[in-house]
């Protein structure tokens, strides 16, 4: 096996803890008899366990070895795979190198494990070649993409040669993308020790859809129209959702990502202290074949905080133009984002009856860079009761509307007042009691 892996050109740059690399080293040790059988078996089982963890996370079944090799191919970000993601396969000379690698992977697909199993008295490779999962748990990653990996694995099993292998993999890149951005909806960022930015998948993102948010139809429609234009490649604006706490601002953003994920929409959540890294984040995603929403939750600044200047430069006003595949969506309880004080008026000027303060203009200029601002105001009591009744129906709670409204009124008086969040918490309370 290690002889085959050594022939890889485009896909050969792998970490030493990679399962494929480790199996190559194990088979090298087996052929050269460098370690004892006991140590070989222990090393094999260590990698088998890692393979089973991946299989569980993605819901793989049947031939786990084939599933893993396919997984490796669709998550390997290299110049060839990223180019195929954007424009598909072309007639460039790089295809010859790619087909060399696919010839290797075809050989790995067909690798005969019987020799090492017989020599060591094990059958783990036979087991993973016809694996039957006990129970498919809720997938940590997007189920549709996981199913497509399994489908591609089955297709590659039938490939007659490296040319058919090439066609199957490159078509997948073009249709679904490559790497973490193809397998996940949302990400956070982390600054590495070397100063680079790493993207961390958010695997447990709320599955809420827009229909789950009761009311706020006008607000949702504005958000949908802007996002639809964005993912379709038309002109769209940065969006600020502002208003009272618990009215569904953050929920709306999550729902938008879930709604438009199949059309290539991804979300990157960034916190205030990370604004200095915005330029690096944009540099890494601007050439990918996805549409990215950079999401900032509960955005607001105190008067002594200057991070908003990084945000202003990125949104509009910096030397480099913001890429077409990136928008900024933010939520805030403040309409103007930056706290204002009476001291801001110290530089007030008056000219022909007009009043102007440079400090106030500086602070207000940030919100003006959001082309779409959507107000999520606190519901009236009538709207609050309507939300409660609808959520109760969806939850299957058997109570009269009169009784529901009576209990909901008691609940909001002692749980933070009227809001959509309070309504949901009240329904959760009733559902927990199994009324």
Q: How far is CA 315 from CA 89, 265, 310, 323, 364, in A?
A: 34, 19, 9, 10, 14
Which of these, 356, 361, 355, 433, lies nearest to 398 by C-alpha position?
433
- State whether residue 301 is helix, strand or coil: strand
Cα dihedral 32, 34, 39, 42 sign: negative
Range with the lowest mean pLDDT among 25-29, 90-94, 232-236? 90-94
Cα dihedral 289, 84, 72, 150 sign: positive
- Average pLDDT over every residue of 203-210: 81
Which of these, 366, 360, 365, lies nearest to 345 by C-alpha position?
360
33 pLDDT band (50/70/90 cuts)?
A: confident
Range with the lowest mean pLDDT among 178-187, 225-234, 269-278, 305-314? 305-314
d(CA 95, CA 166): 9
268 touches 290 (CB < 8 A): no
- Average pLDDT over every residue of 116-142: 78
What would the two tokens of residue 293 be? 């929403």
> Is 307 exposed, middle or buried, given 0-12, 13-18 or 19+ CB atoms closer than 10 A?
middle
Compute CA 92 distance to the chain's CA centroid, rounded to the nearest angstrom: 32
What would the two tokens of residue 199 be? 């993207």
Predicted local confidence at residue 318, as pLDDT = 54
62 touches 130 (CB < 8 A): yes
Q: In which residue are the tokens 């910096």 written?
A: 318
Which of these, 359, 265, 369, lies nearest to 316 by C-alpha position?
369
Range with the lowest mean pLDDT among 138-152, 154-168, 341-355, 370-384? 341-355
Compute CA 214 distance to the chain's CA centroid, rounded to the nearest angstrom: 25
Asked if pLDDT for residue 144 goes beyond 50, the answer is yes
Q: In which residue are the tokens 């706290």 written?
A: 339
d(CA 185, CA 208): 13
d(CA 136, CA 146): 12
Asked if pLDDT for residue 145 goes beyond 90, the answer is no
**DSSP letter for each residue of 133-159:** -S--PPPSS-HHHHHHHHHHHHHHHT-
Asked if pLDDT for residue 358 goes beyond 80, the answer is no
β-bridge pairing 186-191 and 197-201: antiparallel
Q: What is the share, in percent, of the chain residues with pLDDT greater than 70? A: 83
The strand order across the sheet containing 291-296 reads 197-201, 186-191, 265-269, 291-296, 326-332, 239-243, 372-376
d(CA 255, CA 252): 5
The residues, any chain, with a CB within 8 Å of residue 80's CB and separated by 6 or more, are 10, 94, 97, 98
* pLDDT tens digit sequence for 326-345: 998 988 876 655 555 545 44
- The DSSP element (H or E) to which 23 belongs, if any, is helix 19-32
Range with the lowest mean pLDDT among 61-65, 154-158, 313-317, 328-332? 313-317
d(CA 268, CA 212): 22
Residue 174, Cβ neighbours under 10 Å: how many? 16
Taking phi first (over 0 means left), then psi (-120 to 50 degrees means alpha), and beta for anything else, what does residue 394 get? alpha
Predicted local confidence at residue 105, as pLDDT = 96
Which of these, 73, 54, 303, lies nearest to 165 by C-alpha position?
73
Predicted local confidence at residue 91, as pLDDT = 77
| Burial profile 41-60: b = 16 or more Cβ within 10 angstroms, e = fewer | bebbeebbeebbeebbebbb
d(CA 185, CA 259): 11
d(CA 239, CA 397): 36
Cα dihedral 244, 245, 246, 250 sign: positive
β-bridge pairing 265-269 and 291-296: parallel
């Amino acid at each position: 096996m290690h002889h085959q892996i050594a022939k890889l050109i485009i896909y050969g740059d792998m970490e030493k803890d990679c399962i494929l690399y480790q199996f190559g080293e194990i088979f090298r040790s087996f052929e050269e008899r460098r370690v004892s059988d006991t140590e070989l078996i222990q090393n094999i089982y260590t990698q088998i366990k890692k393979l089973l963890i991946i299989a569980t996370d993605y819901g793989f079944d049947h031939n786990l070895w084939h599933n893993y090799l396919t997984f490796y191919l669709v998550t390997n970000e290299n110049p060839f795979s990223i180019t195929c993601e954007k424009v598909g396969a072309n007639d460039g000379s790089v295809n010859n190198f790619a087909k060399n690698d696919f010839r290797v992977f075809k050989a790995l697909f067909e690798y005969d494990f019987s020799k090492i199993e017989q020599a060591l008295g094990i059958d783990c490779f036979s087991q993973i070649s016809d694996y039957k999962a006990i129970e498919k748990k809720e997938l940590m990653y997007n189920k549709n993409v996981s199913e497509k990996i399994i489908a591609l694995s089955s297709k590659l099993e039938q490939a007659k040669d490296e040319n058919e292998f090439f066609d199957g993999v490159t078509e997948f890149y073009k249709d679904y993308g490559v790497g973490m951005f193809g397998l996940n909806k949302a990400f956070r960022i982390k600054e590495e020790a070397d100063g680079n930015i790493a993207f961390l998948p958010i695997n447990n993102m709320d599955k809420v859809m827009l229909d789950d948010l009761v009311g706020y139809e006008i607000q949702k429609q504005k958000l949908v129209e802007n996002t639809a234009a964005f993912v379709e490649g038309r002109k769209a604006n940065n969006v600020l959702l502002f208003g009272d706490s618990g009215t569904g601002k953050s929920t709306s953003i999550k729902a938008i990502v879930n709604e438009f994920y199949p059309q290539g929409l991804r979300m990157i959540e960034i916190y205030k202290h990370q604004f200095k890294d915005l330029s690096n984040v944009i540099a890494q995603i601007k050439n990918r074949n996805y549409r990215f929403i950079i999401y900032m939750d509960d955005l607001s600044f105190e008067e002594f905080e200057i991070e908003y200047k990084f945000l202003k430069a990125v949104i509009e006003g910096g030397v480099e133009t913001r890429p077409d595949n990136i928008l900024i969506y933010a939520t805030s309880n403040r309409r103007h984002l930056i706290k204002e004080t009476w001291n801001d008026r110290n530089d007030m000027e008056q000219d022909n009856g007009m009043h102007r303060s440079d400090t106030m203009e500086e602070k207000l200029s940030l919100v003006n860079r959001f082309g779409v601002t959507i107000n999520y105001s606190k519901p009236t009591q009538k709207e609050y009761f309507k939300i409660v009744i609808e959520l109760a129906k969806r939850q299957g709670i058997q109570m009269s509307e009169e009784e529901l409204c009576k209990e909901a009124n008691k609940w909001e008086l002692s749980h933070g007042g009227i809001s959509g969040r309070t309504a949901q918490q009240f329904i959760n309370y009733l559902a927990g009691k199994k009324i």
